Structure 1
Amino acid sequence: MKNLKIYCLLFFGIFCIPNVVLAQKEPDNDVVTIDDGFEDLFYEAIQQKSMENYDKAIEALEKGKVIEPDNPVVYFELGKNYLAQKKYQDAYDNFEKAAKMDPKNRWAWVGMYDVCYETKDYNKAIPIVEKLVTFKEEYKEDLTSLYMNTQQFDKALELINELNSKFGKTEKRELYKADILKDTKYQSAEKFNLLEQLKKFPKEESNYIALIYMYSQSNQEEKALEIAQKLEKEIPTSDWAQVSLFKFNINNNDGDNAVKAMNLVFPSKKIDSKIKHRMLNEFLIFTKNNPKYEPDLDKAISYFDNDKTIDVAKEIGKFYYAKAEWGKAIKYFGMHLKSKEDDVETQLLLLQGYTENQQFEDLAKKADDLTQLFPTQPQFYYYVGLANNQMKNFKKATTFLESGLDFVVDDEPLEINFNIQLGEAYSGLGDINKKEKYFAKADQLIKKQKK
C-alpha cells in the first residue's frame, strides 16, 4: 500500500547558539515520507511548542515516535522541547540520536552544542564543535573560546594564529593571546610563529612590534634590535621602529642616533604619551652624564608644550634641583614659568635655586617682581630681603622684610627666617637695639619649636 505523504519539515528557532552561530538560519524545508497519522501528531507538536506548551508537544512527538521510530526529525524536535524546559540530559540524548541517524544534519549537532553551552560542559562541547567546523569554518571562533575555557592553551594559540592569518586579528583573539603568553612556556612557539609571519607578511607592522616586545621581555636585546632594524628597513616610516632603536642606542651610548630616533617619535601621534615620557626620562638621565646633548634635551621638551598630563620642563627642573645642580634647575624652571607664571610652587623653587647658586641680583629682581604679582605672598618678600642683605642693601631689605612679615600666618619656620634676616639687616644698618630684638624673637621661636 502506498501510504506516502509529503510534509514540510519546519525547524523553528535554535536555542542559545553562541557567538557566530547565532546569525545562522536552519534549512527552510526538507522532504520526508511519513505514515498515516504521523502528520497530524507532528503538526500538533509544532503548534503546541509555538504556544510554549512543551509537555503537550513532547506527548505528541512521543506518539509520533511510535509510528516513525527511525525518523531523526522526531528526536530533533524532542531535543528542542526538552531544551526549552531546561531538561538538559533528555535534550542532549535526543539531539544525539538525531545526529547518529542523520550525521550530515548540522542542526542536530548544534542542538548538542547548545546543551553543552548552557550547562557549561566545555570539555564535552569540544568534539561537537570540532564536528561543526567541518560544516562551517566560522565555528573555529567557538572552538578557540572552548580551548581557552578548558585551559588547552597550546591548541588555542595554534588556532588563534591560524585565524589571524586567514581573517585578520580581532580584539577578542588578541586578548586571549596576551593571556596565554603570560606563561613563558608558550613564548617560544609564539616567537617562531611571529618570525614566520614576518616572512609571509613583511609589511605587517604589528608582528614586528609583538616580536620586539617579546625579545625585550626575555632580555634578548640583540634579537630585539635585529627585529627593529628589519622593521625600519621594511617600513621606513614606522614610528615604532624608532622607539626600539632609541632604547638600543641609549644602551649603547650612541647619543647621535638616539636623538635621531627620539625626534622621530615625539611628534608622532601613533605613540602613546606614556612611552614618550619614559623615553624623555631615559634621555634626561643620559644627558646628565653626557652634557653635550643638553640642547637636544631642550628641543625635546618643546614637543611636550601642550601636554596636559605632565609639566615636563618643571619635572626636569626638579630632577636637577634634587641633585643640587642649581644652574640647570634654574634653567628648566625658567622654561616652565614662561607659560605658567602663576605656578607659585615653581616660583619658590626658582628663587631657592638662585639663593643656592648665589645669584643674588637675579634673586632680588625676580622676587621683587613677584611681590607685585602676589602682594600677599610672604615668601617673595623674604627672598627680596635676603637678596638685598647679601648685596648690603640693608635699608631696602628692612622695607620688604617688615612688609612681608605682616603676611606671615601660622608658619613658624618662615617667621624665624624673617626675624633672622631683619636682625641681619639692622646689624648692617648699625641699629643694635633692633638687631637684638629680631634675633631674640628668632631665638624665642626656635626654642618654642624644640619643646
Structure 2
Amino acid sequence: MNLRTSAALVAVLAAVFGVLAPESKPNRIEAARLNNLGVAYMNQQLFEKGLKSFQQASEADPKLTIARLNAGIAYLNLQKVDEAKSALEDAAKQDPKNPYAWYGLGMLAKNTGDAQAAIDAFKHVVDIDASDADTWYFLGTAYVQAKQFPQAIEAFDHALKINPLHASAEFGMSRAYQQSADVEHAREHLKKFQYITQ
C-alpha cells in the first residue's frame, strides 16, 4: 500500500467513525424550546432547573442571546453574582443593542453597591429605549446611591413624564430633593407620592 492509498483509507475510516464529522449546525428550534422551558421553570421559582435549561439552550445555539441573558437572571436569583455578571456581560457583548442585558447589568450593579456601573448600564438602556419609566427610575436611584442628586432628580423627572403615577419615582424625587436640602420640593413630591399610594 502506498502513502496516497494509506492516507485515503485513514480519511475514509475517520469519516466513518466521526472524527472528521462536519461541525454541527445550531439547533435553533431545540434551543428555543429549552429557553422557553427555562422561563417556565423560572416562573415556578425553580431557578436551578431554569438555569440548566438556559445553559442547554446556549449549547444548542450559541447565538441565542436570550438564553444567555436568561441564564444571567437565573444566576441573579440564585445569588451567584460573579456568574450573573459574566452571563449578562456576554449577552450585552453578543447583542449590544439589547436593552434587557444592560438592564440586568444595571440591576446587578445597583444591588451590589456599584453605583457608577449601575449608572453606566442604565444609561445604555435609555440610549436604546428612552420610553421605559422603570429604567429612568432605577437610573435615578443609582444617581442617589452615587450622591449625584441633580442627575437623580432629572432621571426621576423623566420617569414621571412617562408615567405620572410612578409612585416610586415620586418618592425617589422627594428623597433626592430632601438630600439636596430643598425642603419645599421634597414636601411637594412626598404629597404626590402619598396621593398616588392612597
1:318–1:444: structure 2 CA closer, same or farther, 3 Å change rule? Answer: same
Q: Paired residue for 2:154, among 381, 387, 399? A: 399
**One-letter amino acid of the structure 2 residue matched with residue 374 of structure 1:** D
**One-letter amino acid of the structure 2 residue matched with residue 402 of structure 1:** D
Q: CA deviation at 1:270?
A: 7.7
**One-letter amino acid of the structure 1 residue matched with residue 132 of structure 2:** Q
Is the contact made by 1:326 and 1:354 (CA closer than 8 Å) also made in structure 2?
A: no
Q: Distance in 1 between matches of 2:25 and 2:129?
A: 42
Query: For structure 2, which runs of at least 5 residues remain unmatched after alignment?
Result: 1-15, 39-47
**One-letter amino acid of the structure 1 residue matched with residue 62 of structure 2:** D
1:394–1:322: structure 2 CA closer, same or farther, 3 Å change rule? Answer: same
Corresponding residue for residue 380 of structure 1: 135
Aligned identity (percent) is 12
User: Deviations for 1:27-48, whole angstroms, at most 9, x for unmatched residues?
Assistant: xxxxxxxxxxxxxxxxxxxxxx
Corresponding residue for residue 41 of structure 1: none
Corresponding residue for residue 104 of structure 2: 349
**One-letter amino acid of the structure 2 residue matched with residue 306 of structure 1:** K
User: Deviations for 1:92-117, whole angstroms, at most 9, x for unmatched residues?
Assistant: xxxxxxxxxxxxxxxxxxxxxxxxxx
Q: CA deviation at 1:390?
A: 1.0
Query: For structure 1, which runs of at least 5 residues remain unmatched after alignment?
Result: 1-233, 240-266, 289-296
1:326–1:416: structure 2 CA closer, same or farther, 3 Å change rule? Answer: farther
Q: CA deviation at 1:425?
A: 0.6
Is the contact made by 2:136 and 2:155 (CA closer than 8 Å) also made in structure 1?
A: yes
Corresponding residue for residue 323 of structure 1: 78
Root mean square deviation, CA, Å:
3.4
SS, match of residue 95 in structure 2: coil
Q: Distance in 2 between matches of 1:378 and 1:356?
A: 19
* Correspondence 1:248-267 to 2 at 5 A: none
Q: CA deviation at 1:321?
A: 2.1
Corresponding residue for residue 89 of structure 2: 334
Q: Distance in 2 between matches of 1:331 and 1:385?
A: 25
**One-letter amino acid of the structure 1 residue matched with residue 72 of structure 2:** G
Corresponding residue for residue 417 of structure 1: 168
Q: Paired residue for 1:359, among 101, 114, 120? A: 114
**One-letter amino acid of the structure 2 residue matched with residue 305 of structure 1:** P
Q: Distance in 1 between matches of 2:150 and 2:25?
A: 59
1:437–1:343: structure 2 CA closer, same or farther, 3 Å change rule? Answer: same
Instruction: Report the TM-score when normalising by structure 2.
Output: 0.66
1:377–1:315: structure 2 CA closer, same or farther, 3 Å change rule? Answer: closer
The number of aligned residues is: 163
SS, match of residue 162 in structure 2: coil
Corresponding residue for residue 443 of structure 1: 194
Larger Rg: 1
User: Deviations for 1:168-210, whole angstroms, at most 9, x for unmatched residues?
Assistant: xxxxxxxxxxxxxxxxxxxxxxxxxxxxxxxxxxxxxxxxxxx
Q: Distance in 1 between matches of 2:160 and 2:93?
A: 29
Corresponding residue for residue 237 of structure 1: 19
Corresponding residue for residue 428 of structure 1: 179
Indicate the structure whose relative CO is greater, using CA pairs within 8 Å and at least 6 residues apart: 2
**One-letter amino acid of the structure 1 residue matched with residue 19 of structure 2:** T
Q: Paired residue for 1:314, among 69, 80, 83? A: 69
